[in-house]
Amino acid sequence: EPEVTQTPSHQVTQMGQEVILRCVPISNHLYFYWYRQILGQKVEFLVSFYNNEISEKSEIFDDQFSVERPDGSNFTLKIRSTKLEDSAMYFCASRDRGYEQYFGPGTRLTVT
């Protein structure tokens, strides 16, 4: 069964450094998302991406964040200058024309 994959599974970085989180969505899906979950809190929407552009973003997704679909398979989330409060699990999700989104296993980002 097709699945969403994410790399790396765990990323440790120092405050102020740039990180790129990578995702390979399910191949025939059209809509792509990033969510995050800070430890002990709920899953929060960051950004949605469709037809090679951002379609919606939350207040969390400020100028430090960017997304890209550099080729036909990868979908990346970049944080330009990480802060301590960016430490969280980051989940990529994708869907086709239905509502159901399929999530990857997540990347645990630790900012020290």
- Closest CB 22 distance from other proteins, rounded Å: 14
Segment 76-95, which members bind other proteins (CB under 8 A)? Answer: 91, 93, 95
Q: Out of 19, 21, 26, 33, which residue is the one contacting other proteins (CB under 8 A)?
A: 33
For residues 48 and 111, the answer to whether their CB atoms sit within 8 Å is no
| Shortest spacing between CB 16 and other proteins, in angstroms | 27
Q: Residue 9 in contact with residue 92, Cβ under 8 Å?
A: no
The amino acid occupying position 38 is I
Burial 91-108 (b: 16+ CB within 10 A, else e): bbbbbeeeeebbebebbb
Cα–Cα distance, 112 to 109 (Å, whole number): 10
Q: Which of 75, 104, 109, 111 binds other proteins (CB under 8 A)?
A: 104
The least CB distance from residue 70 to other proteins, in Å, is 21
Per-residue x/- track, 43-82, other proteins (CB under 8 A): xxx--x-xx---xx-x------------------------
